[in-house]
């Protein structure tokens, strides 16, 4: 195994670049999860399925004949309303409840989404061709699809845009106030119900962007949502809520881990490795905290 890493430097550069670019994309999804986790105290298992749905929106555009890259603008707009509707239908009833209730309820939503996507788009693995070509580096030994660079670039733009929006806009300030103390915000005249709906919508919109990017860089399939949920969950628990640089860094770290796991263990163990990493991270944090007689809260 070690031999593979040291004797194949090209492979290593390739895997590192892939991992970092992919990681930025994961970080964008995780940012959405951190946002709604922090504000509404809900763990959304359907996060990954919102991503995939966003991807299918871009894919539909591709089928119609529009360039799928426009999906990064159209998909978040549609997904915002999907998220908003989801909030009004289900999520508003579980906001103040036990976290386990929200996990199970969003799990149910995830199953519904998966199945509906399966009906509408079929169970085939699909990809929207962006036809951006590839960049060759180091004497054509490292290939880098331009779509991946494009995806990372768009992710960064959206993340920065959202940070500015959260700092400057009225709604952004209302969201941050609600995250700090919902009751106090309510007393001071913030319509928390509206803020929650907007937060969930923004989260869904971010998922939409990420999904549109995934549709041109990776592949789409109705049932691959859960790994994205787990990835973003992992990034959030490593980085903490509301710490954007840490989210970006741990996203890249996860991307790197995945690419190397893919090369070293084999593709069939890739998803398994992601889930095992989740277990290891949680157990590691648990032992570290238990030395101080604390636990993950």
Partner 1 sequence: MNAIKQKDLILYSGLIILGLVAPFLFSAFKVQLTYLCVLIVLAMTWNLQGGEMGYNSFGNILFYGLGMYLTASVQVGMFFPLAEWTESGGEKTFVHTTAQYFQGIGVGLLVAAIVPTIVAGAIGYAILGLRGHYFAICTLGLGIAAGEIAGGIEIIGAGQGFTTPPFPAEIVDPEARGQFFYFLSFLVLVLAFVFVKYIYGSRFRLILNAIRDNEDKAEAMGIQTMKYKIVGWMCSAFFCGLAGGIMGGLIGYIDSTDVAFDGREMGVFMVLMAILGGKGTLWGPVIGATLFHFFKEGLWTFILGWQYVALGVLIVVIVVYFPEGLMGWLREKYPDRFGEVIDEKDRKAQVEIK
Binding site for partner 1 (CB under 8 A): 43, 90, 93-94, 97-101, 103-105, 107-116, 119, 226, 230, 233, 237, 266, 268-269, 271-272, 275-276, 278-279, 282-283, 286-287, 290, 295-297
CB of 270 to partner 1, least distance (A): 8
Q: Which is nearer to partner 1, 125 or 283 (CB)?
A: 283
CB of 181 to partner 1, least distance (A): 21
Q: Which is nearer to partner 1, 170 or 293 (CB)?
A: 293
Q: Which is nearer to partner 1, 147 or 232 (CB)?
A: 232
Position of tokens 């999904």? 211
Closest CA to 71 of 128, 23, 1: 128
DSSP-assigned states of every residue in 204-246: HHHHHHHHHHHHHHS-B-TT-HHHHHHHHHHHHHHH-TT-HHH
* Residue 4 near residue 237, CB atoms below 8 Å: no
CB of 289 to partner 1, least distance (A): 8
Q: Which is nearer to partner 1, 71 or 83 (CB)?
A: 83
How many H-runs (helices) and E-runs (strands) does the chain carry?
A: 12, 2
* Residue 71 near residue 212, CB atoms below 8 Å: yes
Q: Which is nearer to partner 1, 107 or 132 (CB)?
A: 107
CB of 118 to partner 1, least distance (A): 8
Q: Which is nearer to partner 1, 115 or 135 (CB)?
A: 115
- Sheet strands (E) in 109-258: 134-137, 142-145
Interatomic CA distance for residues 232 and 201, integer angstroms: 17
Distance of CA 30 to the CA centre of its chain: 5
CB of 107 to partner 1, least distance (A): 7
Q: Is the dihedral of CA 46, 17, 151, 31 positive or negative?
A: positive
Interatomic CA distance for residues 79 and 87, integer angstroms: 12
Interatomic CA distance for residues 167 and 186, integer angstroms: 19
CB of 179 to partner 1, least distance (A): 18
């Amino acid at each position: 195994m070690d031999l593979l890493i040291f004797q194949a430097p090209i492979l290593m550069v390739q895997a590192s670049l892939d991992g970092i670019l992919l990681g930025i994309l994961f970080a964008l999804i995780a940012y959405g999860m951190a946002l709604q986790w922090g504000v509404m105290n809900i763990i959304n298992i359907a996060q990954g399925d919102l991503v995939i749905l966003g991807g299918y929106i871009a894919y539909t555009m591709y089928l119609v004949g529009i360039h799928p890259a426009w999906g990064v603008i159209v998909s978040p707009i549609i997904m915002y309303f999907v998220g908003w509707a989801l909030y009004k239908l289900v999520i508003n009833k579980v906001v103040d409840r036990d976290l386990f209730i929200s996990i199970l309820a969003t799990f149910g939503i995830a199953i519904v989404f998966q199945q509906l996507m399966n009906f509408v788009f079929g169970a085939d693995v699909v990809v929207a061709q962006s036809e951006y070509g590839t960049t060759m580096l180091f004497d054509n030994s490292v290939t880098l699809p331009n779509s991946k660079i494009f995806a990372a670039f768009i992710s960064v733009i959206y993340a920065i845009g959202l940070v500015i929006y959260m700092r400057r806009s009225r709604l952004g300030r209302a969201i941050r106030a609600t995250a700090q103390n919902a009751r106090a915000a309510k007393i001071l005249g913030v319509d928390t119900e509206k803020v929650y709906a907007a937060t969930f919508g923004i989260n869904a919109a971010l998922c939409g962007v990420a999904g549109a990017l995934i549709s041109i860089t990776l592949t789409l399939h109705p049932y691959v949502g859960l790994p994205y949920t787990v990835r973003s969950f992992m990034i959030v628990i490593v980085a903490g809520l509301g710490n954007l640089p840490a989210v970006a860094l741990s996203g890249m770290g996860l991307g790197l881990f995945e690419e190397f796991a893919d090369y070293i263990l084999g593709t069939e163990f890739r998803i398994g490795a992601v889930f095992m990493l989740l277990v290891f991270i949680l157990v590691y944090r648990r032992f570290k905290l238990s030395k101080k007689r604390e636990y993950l809260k």
